[in-house]
Amino acid sequence: MSHLPTSLKATTNVEQTSHSHQTTATTSNLHLIPGYRHTPLIGWRWQGLRMLNDPIGFFMKTYKAYGQISSWDNTDPKYIAIFGPTFHQALFTQSKQFIADAFRESQFPAGSPMERLSLGLLRINGEKHRQHRRLMQPAFKKNSIDQYLNSITSITQETLDTWSLNEVRRIDQDITCLITRISLKTMFGLEQNPLSKKLEHYIALLLKTAGSSTTLLFPVDIPGSTYRKMLQCAASIEAIIRNMIHQKCKASTQDYDILSALIAARDDQGIGFSEDELIGEAYTVLCHESSASAILWTLFLLDQHPEEYAQLLTELQTILNSKPPTIEDLSRLNYLDWVIKESLRLFPPAAFGIRYANEDAELNGYPINKDTTIFFSAYVSHRIPEVFNQPLRFNPQRWASLKPSPFEYIAFGAGEHNCMGRHFALLEVKLILILLLQRFRPSLITGSKVDRSMRISLVAKQGLTVRLEKPSRFLKAPKIKGNILESFEKNA
């Protein structure tokens, strides 16, 4: 998304700086897209730089200034942003006109390991995308996913056994490592061993280098560059995954893990994934940074809202009585479900996304030229007061009666590219939160600075340093600083 094209193609000389919030139009009366005034010589590039510096802040300011549709340059609407359910529905239900291509702007070398790792569901479209989803669906049905409960529980308990009360920890690093261990076990059947440690190291390094602004702004394969480090990590990860595929194909019995299920998957014609397709889809489902993001922001919000934390703690103690949960128990933990939904509303891991116009098209009465880049943001859309009352309030109780449409609440995306792994993610997030909160209340150090930032998912820029307190209903919320304070309002 950062390697922006350098050509300008003026489509209109009309300047429009209206704060228009109009969201519908007729096809016979197409509207000009409002947006930022054209800057001579620079054009839309200035807005692109602002977006890269602080995507969430930029999109919020754009929405407040121009409403639910706007362009980065009102004389050249090549980059536009849309928000809200009306535009979501128009965008996500026209999958032929508006396609996903998660890594289009990254310009990975053709035929490189990085390109193969990226060729999963997030990037493919049309019939190929539908075929891949059909092949993958059995492995991600709720009944299949529920069988991973014991693995997630045991790995989480092993990790928590190494923590101590009153200890200060970088919990963001801890949760990321825990999530990686779980994904290696459930995805590949890998226990903690030298190979899993090696793969864990490469995945962490790839996420760091691929999300680096240096890599995004300077995608140059030269010695010492973060771009080259990214390509080298990708080659190492691909080699490990390819070797595991070969080993599983030669095995006399099928292991119970997601990779084995993908290898065995066949459609009605008996066609399965090619080896390169397996590599792309395996890596796509291996990376669970979004689960780590969801867990960390939920812990953050509970720490900042003691009353809601106390209510959740009461539910856990009443229903579970300090025991690990069963699948049946999870269905009874209503308040936990509401807490997670509300956390994902305020801090969706995929805080913004991109679609590309595959042809000249129309979006609610606005003309969209072929190759236009269209940004959408769950973070912004979940803060529209007409959709969510008091949108900055952390209010889990709202979910007792709230039933948003698929285009109002898009924490897991919408349309054909909605998140296939949502059942696994929710199981993972719920189990880790339960087991952790039964033992500890992670509380930020008073005075901590917390700034939101986009890596692959929405994260805390400085990380989250916490003290592991004893679970208690009587602890106060620590005072913090940073731009995260713009993202929510503390309850009175």
Does residue 286 surpass a pLDDT of 80?
Answer: no
Please report, for the domain that includes residue 73, its CATH number.
Answer: 3.30.43.20
Whole-structure pTM value: 0.88
Share of the chain above pLDDT 70, in %: 93
Predicted local distance difference test score (pLDDT) of residue 197: 86
Does residue 192 surpass a pLDDT of 80?
Answer: no
Average confidence score pLDDT of the chain: 88
Together in a domain, 88 and 40: yes
Together in a domain, 127 and 20: no
Segments forming the whole domain that contains residue 16: 1-111+351-410
Together in a domain, 145 and 240: yes
Predicted local distance difference test score (pLDDT) of residue 153: 97
Predicted local distance difference test score (pLDDT) of residue 11: 32
Higher-confidence residue of 448 and 39: namely 448
Residue with tokens 């008073």: 446
**Among residues 230, 254, 286, which one ends one of the domains?**
286
Does residue 17 surpass a pLDDT of 70?
Answer: no
Together in a domain, 219 and 121: yes
Together in a domain, 92 and 234: no
**Among residues 259, 286, 313, which one ends one of the domains?**
286
Dist. CA 444–CA 477, nearest whole Å = 9
**Among residues 236, 256, 286, which one ends one of the domains?**
286
Dist. CA 335–CA 333, nearest whole Å = 6
Higher-confidence residue of 102 and 195: namely 195
Together in a domain, 267 and 234: yes
Please report, for the domain that includes residue 198, its CATH number.
Answer: 1.10.630.10
Is 476 domain-assigned?
A: no
How far, in whole angstroms, is CA 206 from its chain's centroid? 16
Dist. CA 140–CA 258, nearest whole Å = 8
From residue 282, how far is each of 261, 279, 288 by CA, in Å? 11, 5, 12
Dist. CA 78–CA 90, nearest whole Å = 18
Predicted local distance difference test score (pLDDT) of residue 378: 97
Is 240 domain-assigned?
A: yes
Together in a domain, 197 and 273: yes
Predicted local distance difference test score (pLDDT) of residue 490: 84
**Residue 21 CB coordination number (10 Å):** 15
Please list the residues that pair with 376 across neighbouring strands.
Answer: 82, 353
Does residue 24 surpass a pLDDT of 60?
Answer: no
From residue 170, how far is each of 416, 466, 469 by CA, in Å? 37, 6, 14
Together in a domain, 227 and 358: no
Interhelix angle 55-66/45-53, nearest 10 degrees: 130
Question: Total domain count for the chain?
Answer: 2
Predicted local distance difference test score (pLDDT) of residue 30: 59
Is 367 domain-assigned?
A: yes
* Most confident residue range from 35-44, 94-103, 368-377: 368-377
pLDDT tens readout for residues 321-338: 999 999 999 999 999 999
Please list the residues that pair with 466 across neighbouring strands.
Answer: 169, 444
Together in a domain, 205 and 105: no
Predicted local distance difference test score (pLDDT) of residue 492: 61
Does residue 1 surpass a pLDDT of 70?
Answer: no
Together in a domain, 149 and 189: yes
Does residue 480 surpass a pLDDT of 70?
Answer: yes
Is 298 domain-assigned?
A: no
Together in a domain, 131 and 229: yes
From residue 6, how far is each of 3, 45, 48, 250, 377 by CA, in Å? 9, 8, 12, 49, 25
Dist. CA 291–CA 231, nearest whole Å = 25
Sequence-distant (≥ 6) Cβ neighbours of residue 258 within 8 angstroms: 139, 140, 186, 187, 188, 285
Q: Are 148 and 424 in contact (CB under 8 A)?
A: yes
Together in a domain, 71 and 147: no
Confidence of residue 216 (pLDDT cuts 50, 70, 90): confident
Name the DSSP letter for residue 252: S
